[in-house]
Structure 1
């Protein structure tokens, strides 16, 4: 800006000198030459200055380097099935260091999940005014239980975000607070609550978020549609893998949460979309080109919800005057002599084994019955497409020692089957619910259409960045706020 002001001043002085020379030069030829030079100088200055301010205006409209999204908004109404998701098209993730403070900007995304609440604060830098942003660092924290556990204490639930917000203030430079966008998206836990309970929780949460000096997005603290969750997870994984530039080599993503599970991939065969139900696909914009994704969220098939159903429990069990659950749940998936407490949402249970019926066969039968109730759609392409499995898929694979906790790795679907057989045959396992979880994951993967020999990749991070739908959602948020 200072350079342009200096240039404008030079232009003005030049034009003035030209006018003076014209007035006091008596020779006609010289007058004509001076006049011509003065006019050319004036026109050139006008063109350059006008062009500069037009470009400056354009650059301001792309403050973060994200291309604007189309007019289609992502669904925050979980009853909406079809999602037209336009995610920012020009982000390039690299690990960069030693950038100046002036280049930095941030985005805050809260994940209000069924089993816990998490904050992701992403730090981006730009090398020049017109360059694309680069992701350089992330603050990640989580608290338990999830927001849905405070269904009867909405104020207390909202206050659970305060420690994470305080840490975000410490991590983000103070001068960046007013320009840092913040959003909170709730997932399956709140989708399963009655509408009035969910509304109260979200209203109180908005009040807490509004008391902090960040830039709240429109409709902050809302329930995210399950298909949105799947699309964001797919975008995050493929972005971190560097595959969005070569979309034909993208990978599919399966996300196993507490209350729901999603499967999302880019079909290579048109027949996949033709055969899929209409509410089983959405669209995403990648580098200016629209792609149709196969994506669906199965509400109720998250690991925690499935556990409860396998054991015969209901989301809202009757309680006595002491607020204790009167039901005792039992399952053949639990060790035969096991009895212990179990909490789902805001409800406490007593769970126990079933003695002689314990074992892999009985447990597998129970988990398959739960999966069958949901009548999963089986797309043919899952048999040949590479897939990443995240969230509870990864956690239980680590517990079963199928992959390393830090490095992850590739596993076969049959490896879950074999691990389940081994764990379920142990009458005194270290984790009493691991037999149930592994049997359920095996049943779910088979229900989706995976063969025992199919390989899936399990990782927690890619390039030291946490795998979560929140990064894809942050790209979208920054695109809308630019």
Structure 2
């Protein structure tokens, strides 16, 4: 299978990490891919003596594009815990799904992207650029555009491929990833960075952490939200297995991961659903906007998305002005109308909209909601970007409703969840898991390095040698005393 094509294979709820063909570069700085029955089948090995390798991922999200540069020691390319984020660059302007709509905006976006790529490439030695893998993964924004206009989404992807292929890098892949893949890659990233998959022991060997538990991942994007967490084997339903379960093999260990993506429930698209519900009841007052804030939006902005059904007598050029009232109680009630909570009543294995989900644990702090909703717009406006100002109260209610009413978090399970964007200067985001998977940095079947001896044997030997050392010192002292007297 060509590396430029989709590498992951989904079959009957299983996720298999890719195996590459037997090829090995002849140049000094080439990456060698060869199979070995004694090491990791189908994984990558480094043919050069270079100390550092690099990888680049473009996160083409719905609201913006972020470019990540990763690096890892070349001699440990197949180990974990060594891949680090060197830098990231945010491309100015909206996501790539907006390309082709505004020529001036397109020009600015392309210019910013080229500047970001120049900054990224400046961190990579020129002698290594042609072996640095380059990936692009597009998420919910492009998934929605493909649903709305497949021709437009194909053209954008083709334009991106042509641009990336012209760069002096090793372009690998540019594609729209599914919501389930996005959730799974985020789960891999979180657990990889936290060291839950593998770690170094006292002998400087890589082993699976004893007693380590994986963490679930919750991602609220602009157009979709993803949830992913591991479920114990004994709790996984039998045949027929419900949708959402994926068998993942990492370093020779199996994980049953539940992952699901809710399209149209990301922050930006969910806001449009709220606005649509207000328009349908002929209300221009928005309880989710801060007091004193007003904004005029076109009907095209609200209803020109597959997430909302167009009303009768729809006029895309119609303008609607919304005025914020900052009512936290009414805001939450309005946000809850977006979720179908009745189809899951009385069921412990259901989230919302009738979607199967096993019980999940976690916590969420909601103390700031009333404060953000009730303060006047003028108190925050001088301090915050207007682009984000109107969504503070709404976003708080969306996250709260999603966690409590949607995913089923309770006061008893709140203490296990944390809001964290970075671990050891690495972003907790799906691109790292994406790169690790497509470049096969994490082997599915790995022969873990074993301890030279069992821990109990080591402890026994340590005690024995310590006792011998003490006896030797005592014998030396006695000998000296006798010699002196």
Give TM-score scaled by structure 2 length. Answer: 0.65
Extract unaligned runs of 5+ from structure 2. 20-38, 41-47, 198-207, 306-316, 342-351, 381-388, 444-485
Q: How does 1:167-316 map onto structure 2 within 5 Å?
A: 167-193=119-145, 194-217=149-172, 220-244=173-197, 245-246=208-209, 249-268=213-232, 270-274=234-238, 278-312=242-276
Q: How does 1:74-473 map onto structure 2 within 5 Å?
A: 74=8, 82=13, 84-86=15-17, 102-127=50-75, 134-143=82-91, 144-152=93-101, 156=107, 160-193=112-145, 194-217=149-172, 220-244=173-197, 245-246=208-209, 249-268=213-232, 270-274=234-238, 278-312=242-276, 330-340=285-295, 351-353=321-323, 358-372=326-340, 375=353, 377=355, 379-383=357-361, 412-413=363-364, 415-416=365-366, 418-428=367-377, 430=380, 431-446=389-404, 447-453=406-412, 454-455=414-415, 456-473=417-434
Worse-superposed segment, 305-314 or 295-304: 305-314
Partners of 2:240 and 2:370 in 1: CA distance: 34
Give TM-score scaled by structure 1 length. Answer: 0.65
The 3 A distance-change label for structure 1 pair 295 and 276 is farther
Partners of 1:370 and 1:449 in 2: CA distance: 16
SS in 2 for 1:335: coil
- Pairwise CA distance, 1:177: 1.1
- Pairwise CA distance, 1:481: 12
Number of aligned positions between the proteins: 357
Partners of 1:424 and 1:125 in 2: CA distance: 48
Partners of 2:165 and 2:285 in 1: CA distance: 44
Provide, for residues 69-101 of structure 1, a one-character-per-residue CA deviation record: whole Å limited to 9, x for no partner: 9x993269xxx99561528998xxxxxxxxx98
Are the counterparts in 2 of residues 114 and 187 from structure 1 also a CA contact under 8 Å? yes
1:73 aligns with 2:7: yes
User: Which structure is higher in helix share?
Assistant: 1
Provide, for residues 312-339 of structure 1, a one-character-per-residue CA deviation record: whole Å limited to 9, x for no partner: 179xx9xxxxxxxxx9965221235421
Are the counterparts in 2 of residues 188 and 260 from structure 1 also a CA contact under 8 Å? yes
Are the counterparts in 2 of residues 252 and 263 from structure 1 also a CA contact under 8 Å? yes
Counterpart in 2 of 1:50? none
- Pairwise CA distance, 1:178: 1.1
SS in 2 for 1:371: coil
The 3 A distance-change label for structure 1 pair 437 and 131 is closer
Partners of 1:271 and 1:458 in 2: CA distance: 27
Are the counterparts in 1 of residues 243 and 356 from structure 2 also a CA contact under 8 Å? no
- Pairwise CA distance, 1:425: 2.4
Extract unaligned runs of 5+ from structure 1. 1-68, 91-99, 318-326, 388-411
* Alignment root-mean-square deviation, CA: 3.8
Provide, for residues 336-383 of structure 1, a one-character-per-residue CA deviation record: whole Å limited to 9, x for no partner: 54212569699997652265xx51121111111112275154645313
The 3 A distance-change label for structure 1 pair 128 and 204 is closer
